[in-house]
Amino acid sequence: MSQIDLQPVKGTRDVYPEDMRVRQWLFGQWREVARSFGYEEYDACVLEHAELYIRKAGDEITGQLYDFRDKGDRHLALRPELTPSFARMVMAKGSALPLPARWFALPQCFRYEDTQKGRKREHYQWNMDVVGLASVAAEAELMAAQAEFCRRAGLKLDGSEPEVVWRVSNRQVLGHFLAAMGIDGDQFAAVCVVIDKRDKIGDAATLVELAKVGIDGERGAGILRLLDVRGLDALAQQVPADNPGFIALTELMALLEGWGIAHLIRIDLSVIRGLSYYTGTVWEVFAQVGTIRRAIAGGGRYDNLCAQLGGTAVPMVGFGFGDVVITELLDELGRLPVLGKGIDAVVFPMSAKEFPVANRLAASLRRSGKRIVVDYSGRRFKNAIERAEQDGAKILYILGGNEVKDGVVVERTLGAERIERKVPLADF
């Protein structure tokens, strides 16, 4: 038989223990921040009903589905995102769910994407979502949680040149502007999906795509002009004071001021997001340092998703924060923590005869909370020390025939100071 392919499936990652340590550190930070804001962890299965992602507005995610029919002819998909599952779970609970509810999750997601820096076909996403709060206080809280994580991860947010910024807009600004032209509902969602691609395809192609969803050249040019607006003051010049998107952004900025993170916010009307379900605030987090020009995280308000899925509309807002971009960014900046294997001590029986005593000693040490490896290799003493030091152990317990006979173990500290002493086995 020829050898199997040693590479993981294209776009997916093998996670060796040294990478897993970093992943667990990242997940630990995410969990701690979410819990510190009172969010509860939940999960759903990676297998979902495919129909949850099949949206007629032309969302890119629909074309990237890993979908198939199972043996019972159900149309299923590996989830590309968690939000629709979240909505499904909220709908299933119905009025039994006390609102507002604050939930978080760390789902693995699958998208058939062109793989490139920061983009894989499989990634993990930290999600925090609030259901049942119509106020932009929810958005402000979510952004504050993201900022707290960035700080804990070692990114510099203070001063005039923060390493990460939040690009924020509100779809209602554009929605209100287009409603005046008679464009709303599904057509509006389709317009959002088109203009989300503007950066990638350029203005000319955007106008062509807009024409395909029924927006003529003149209106198209008006849309592009609005998307070029930066900052609340400039926006105030462009839209009437009663534009609900403008009002919401003004309220949001005031709240973010209170959170002490207004200096990180860039009001940027070009942010629209590629998921058609967003109805209000939309935002993306971007690094200002390093070479990765992709969003680190993205979120938004989606007050109609439950209604689109056939239920009752309920205010919802949240974000997804991927593991790929942030890990690459921290790696590039040399800020990933250096994490050892976390082994405290190694017990070294010199021959198989000492294995039972070694195991009893190890078991007793483990019960006191220590991480213990028993080295059964029978290797030379010098090599046992070397390997234990490589593994980061602080102590080596040596058990030879004589020690067992005398009821003791040799305890040797590792590293620069190699001190040996005999300790009665009864002490453990």
Give me the phi and psi of 315, to 5 degrees please. -65, 130
Tell me how far apart the alpha carbons of residues 98 and 399 are, in angstroms, rounded to a whole number. Answer: 59
- Is the preceding omega at residue 315 within 30 degrees of 0, hence cis? no
- What's the closest the beta carbon of residue 419 comes to ligand HAM, in angstroms? 49
Which of 102/120 has CB closer to ligand HAM? 120
- What's the closest the beta carbon of residue 411 comes to ligand HAM, in angstroms? 47
Place of tokens 């593994």: 391
Take residue 306 and report the two structure tokens written for it.
């439950």
Whether the Cβ atoms of residue 320 and residue 106 lie closer than 8 Å to each other: no
Which of 61/235 has CB closer to ligand HAM? 61
Give me the phi and psi of 80, to 5 degrees please. -90, -15
Which of 311/392 has CB closer to ligand HAM? 311
- What's the closest the beta carbon of residue 301 comes to ligand HAM, in angstroms? 8
Which of 321/348 has CB closer to ligand HAM? 321
3-class secondary structure per residue, 102-167: EEEECCEEECCCCCECCECCEEEEEEEEEECCCCCHHHHHHHHHHHHHHHHCCCCCCCCCCCEEEE
- What's the closest the beta carbon of residue 253 comes to ligand HAM, in angstroms? 20
- What's the closest the beta carbon of residue 318 comes to ligand HAM, in angstroms? 3
Contact positions vs ligand HAM (CB under 6 A): 81, 83, 111, 113, 119-120, 123, 125, 127, 129, 275, 295-300, 318-320, 322, 324-325
Which of 294/379 has CB closer to ligand HAM? 294
User: What is the Cα Rg of the chain in Å?
Assistant: 28
Secondary structure (3-state) at 175:
helix
How many Å separate Cα 316 from the centre of its chain? 18
Tell me how far apart the alpha carbons of residues 310 and 243 are, in angstroms, rounded to a whole number. Answer: 29
Cα–Cα distance list, 68 to 49, 111, 121 (Å): 10, 14, 16
Closest residue to bound ligand HAM by CB: 322
User: Amino acid letter at 393?
Assistant: A
Spatial CA neighbour of 272 closest among 251, 253, 245: 245
Which of 103/177 has CB closer to ligand HAM? 103
Which of 245/320 has CB closer to ligand HAM? 320
Take residue 417 and report the two structure tokens written for it.
């100071």
- The H or E element that residue 349 is part of is strand 345-349
Which of 148/323 has CB closer to ligand HAM? 323
Which of 285/347 has CB closer to ligand HAM? 285
- What's the closest the beta carbon of residue 22 comes to ligand HAM, in angstroms? 16
- What's the closest the beta carbon of residue 324 comes to ligand HAM, in angstroms? 4
- What's the closest the beta carbon of residue 300 comes to ligand HAM, in angstroms? 6
Q: Which residues pair with 267 in a beta bridge?
A: 168
Other beta carbons within 10 angstroms of residue 402's beta carbon come to 10
- What's the closest the beta carbon of residue 121 comes to ligand HAM, in angstroms? 7
